[in-house]
Amino acid sequence: MTRFKQMRTAAVAALAVGVTGCGDLLSGPGLSENPNSPVEASTEALLIATQARTFVLQSGQLARQSSIWTQQIAGIFNQQLEWGSQYNVTENDMGGHFAGFYTGGGLLDMRRVRDAGVEAGDARLEGIAKVLEGLHIGTAASIWGDIPYREAVNADISAPILDPQEQVYADVQQVLSDAISLLGTASSASLASDLIYNGDSQRWLRAAHTLKARYHLHVAPRVGQSAYEAALAAAQQGINEAPASALDAINGQGPGDFRAFHGNTLDDGNIWSQFYEARSDLAANARMIGVLVAREDPRLDVYFNPANDGQWRGANQFGLGPAPWSPLDQENRLFRTFRQPIVTWAENQFIMAEAHYQLGRPGDALTHVNNVRTAIGMAALGGPITLEQIMVEKWIAQFQNVDAYSDYRRTCFPRLIPGGPNPQSPAAQIPGRLPYGNSERLQNPNVPPPSAQPDRNWNFENVTCPTSGGTI
């Protein structure tokens, strides 16, 4: 059996029986994102399950929410219109998504993989589990702020406290540092149960450095210059393998990029593909379409297709406006086997660009921006570079990525006009966070009711974005 077939069979098995989730309002392929789990599983099956859960959380509703709220795409029907474009998401809509960070291939199983690595003296397995945990918990903290972590998935603690977001980020940094130490001298022999890097410990190590850089930027609004210095130092050791072609660069398919793995059926295909095939509730957003058309950006016809009248047209930030709208491109980013990028060389370049800029080195920042532009087949910018230009370039490159939401909340770029429930009156702000899931609140008295939850998380509570649209 070829490695591709082995990995595909393993991925299908993981999605079918390897992970557990909680109930959700939706059901069906790509909607409930709610596979079932056996009582016991081998270490190999658990490793596959944790990666499969990562793919679901990084490419499922949280990514759709991020892409709609940052106006890369628009929610035009059903829950994507209500939760996304109209900002009416509630705790009842988030139960399964919040719980998925802890159960069913979440933190609980990542700890099992870690412990299996410790018991076997397998530094690579332990290190991989810690990188997955760092990505997992860093993402949860970025979305919800204070979350259960130090007391989470502890059989002796039924109601874990919510750790402060600042502490969670510090703990995540330590977990990733531990992973880097473990992976530094670990084997890179082929490992079929590793769907991401096939056991290449050095690529896992570099992804860990890029994640450290990502999370240093998350706290920069509160920490200041030292966060940019730390982000730059980490990114300089991060993902460094440039994609081999312009199309690979556009799609985040570099050899060192942390990407999902999928098969070619509706049940095991790309999560975005699963959703879009089942429910075409998404379209291009007018903001991103306008930017890509104005720039003559080669990503336009990779991310989207022309509307059925041949025009490039997106729905507005309310999910409304003159139709027909450009659909997402199912032959590229929504192809079933497309390996959704999660942490990439391009992101690493933009982290270095932003850090250099904030540390007073705009010339170095321009170099990293132009590295990406050249890789995708665009002309280099002449400079001087601005922070807005850096972040707009990154917003386009981070298409469909959960972390685009953190970039906007942190920098207020690109300039966006909020949507909301009333097209005649935009909301005052794009929502600053998602509510905790209701299932967690009902089971854990430490989770506050929606009325007592903050509008913004600690790291972004001092950032207020203007509500005027831009032209870049």
**Residue 309 binned pLDDT confidence (cut-offs 50, 70, 90):** very high
Q: Which of 4-8, 306-310, 319-323, 467-471 has the lowest mean pLDDT?
A: 4-8
CA distance 346 to 213: 13
Instruction: Give a yes or no: residue 14 inside a domain.
Output: yes
* Omega prior to 148 cis, within 30 of 0: no
Q: How far apart are the first and last CA of the chain?
A: 50
Residue 12: CB partners within 8 Å, gap ≥ 6? 263, 265, 267, 268
By residue count, the chain amounts to: 472
- Spatial contact of 134 and 110, defined as CB atoms under 8 Å apart: no
Q: How many distinct structural domains can be found in the chain?
A: 1
**Domain coverage including residue 128:** 3-266+338-460
The contacts of residue 293 (CB under 8 Å, 6+ apart) are 300, 312
> What rounded mean pLDDT belongs to the chain?
91
Q: Is the pLDDT of residue 39 over 60?
A: no
Q: Which element (helix H / strand E) includes 214? A: helix 201-218
The whole-number pLDDT of residue 6 equals 43
Please give the share of the chain, as a percent, with pLDDT higher than 90. 88
| Rounded distance between C-alpha atoms, residue 365 and residue 356, angstroms | 5
Q: What is the pLDDT of residues 228-250, one digit of tens each?
A: 999 999 999 999 999 999 999 99
Question: Residue with structure tokens 């450095």?
Answer: 209
Res 468: pLDDT: 66
Nearest to 346 by CA among 318, 376, 380, 317: 376
Q: In this structure, is residue 53 part of a structural domain?
A: yes
Q: Which residues pair with 75 in a beta bridge?
A: 282
Quick check: 261 pLDDT over 80?
Answer: yes
> Does the residue 142 lie in any domain?
yes
pLDDT digits (tens, 9 = 90+) for 409-442: 999 999 999 999 999 899 999 999 999 999 899 9
pLDDT above 60: residue 9:
no
Residue 329 is assigned to a structural domain of this protein? no
At residue 382 the predicted structure's pLDDT band, cuts being 50, 70 and 90, is: very high
Tell me the pLDDT tens digit for each residue of 40-61: 689 999 999 999 999 999 999 9
**Which residue, chain included where needed, has tokens 């069979």?**
9
Residue 276 covered by a domain? no
pLDDT of residue 27: 30
Which residue type, as a one-letter code, is found at position 322? P
Q: Is the pTM of this model over 0.85?
A: yes
What CATH number did the domain enclosing 212 receive? 1.25.40.390
Comparing 88 with 467, the larger pLDDT belongs to 88
In a domain, 318, yes or no: no
Give the pLDDT of residue 469.
58
**Is the pLDDT at 1 greater than 80, yes or no?**
no
Residues 369 and 289: beta-carbon distance below 8 Å: no
Question: What pLDDT, on a 0 to 100 scale, did the predictor assign at position 19?
Answer: 35
Q: Are 56 and 267 in contact (CB under 8 A)?
A: no
β-pairing, 73-75 vs 282-284, is antiparallel
pLDDT at 26: 28
384 CB-side CA count, 13 A: 6
**Are 445 and 423 in contact, with CB atoms under 8 Å apart?**
no
Q: Is position 330 within any domain?
A: no
**Predicted confidence band at 367 (pLDDT cuts at 50, 70, 90)?**
very high
Reported as a pLDDT band with limits 50, 70 and 90, residue 301 is very high
The answer as to whether 307 is a domain residue is no
